[in-house]
Amino acid sequence: GALSMGLPFIYLPAGPMLRGNWRGQVLGSGSDAFKYWDERRAGRLSDQAWQEMEGGIARSHGTCMTMGTAATMMGIADAVGLTLPGASSILAADANHVRMSSECGRRIVQMVWDDLAPGRLLSRRHFENGIACAMAMGCSTNAIIHLIAMSRRAGHPVTLDDFDAASRRVPVIANIRPSGDRYLMEDFYYAGGLLALLRRIEGHLHGDVLTVNGRTLAENIAGAEVHDDDVIRPLSNPIYAEGALAVLRGNLAPDGVCIKPSACEPRLLKHTGRALVYEDYPALKKAVDDPDLDVTGDDVLVLRNAGPKGAGMPEWGMLPIPTKLLKQGVKDMLRLSDARMSGTSYGGCLLHCSPEAAIGGPLALVQTGDRITVDVPARTIHLEVSDDELARRRAAWVPPPRRYERGYGWMFSRHILQADQGCDFDFLETAFGAPVGEPDIF
Report, as residue numbers or ranges, the catalytic residues. 342
**Type of residue found at 297:** G
- Residues composing the chain: 442
Separation between Cα atoms, residue 34 and residue 20, nearest integer Å: 14
Separation between Cα atoms, residue 99 and residue 424, nearest integer Å: 34
- In the chain, what is the straight-line distance between the N-terminal and C-terminal CA atoms, in Å? 19
Q: If 0-12 CB within 10 Å is exposed, 13-18 middle and 19+ buried, where does residue 69 land?
A: buried
The answer to whether the Cα torsion of 204, 206, 211, 217 is positive or negative is positive
Kindly give the pairing relationship between strand 349-350 and strand 253-259.
Answer: unpaired
Angle at which helix 193-200 crosses helix 69-80, to 10 degrees, equals 60
